[in-house]
Amino acid sequence: MNAGKSRIYGVELETTLTLFEGFNVQAGYTYLNTKILSIPDFPTPAGSLYVIDGAQRKGDPVALSPKNKLTLAANYTLPLDESIGRITVGANYIYTGKQVTNYGDRNSDDPTIQKLGTIPSFNLVNLDATWSSIGGQPVDVALFATNVTNEKYYTFIAGLGVSTGFETAQLGQPRMYGVRIKHRFGS
Q: Give residue 1's pLDDT band: very low, low, confident or very high (50, 70, 90).
A: very low
Alpha helices in 64-153 (DSSP H): 111-114
Helix, strand, coil tally for the chain in percent (to 5):
10, 50, 40
Domain residue extents for the chain: 5-40+50-183
Task: Work out the mean pLDDT of the chain and round it to a whole number.
Answer: 88
More confident residue, 95 or 61: 95
Percent above pLDDT 70 for the chain: 83
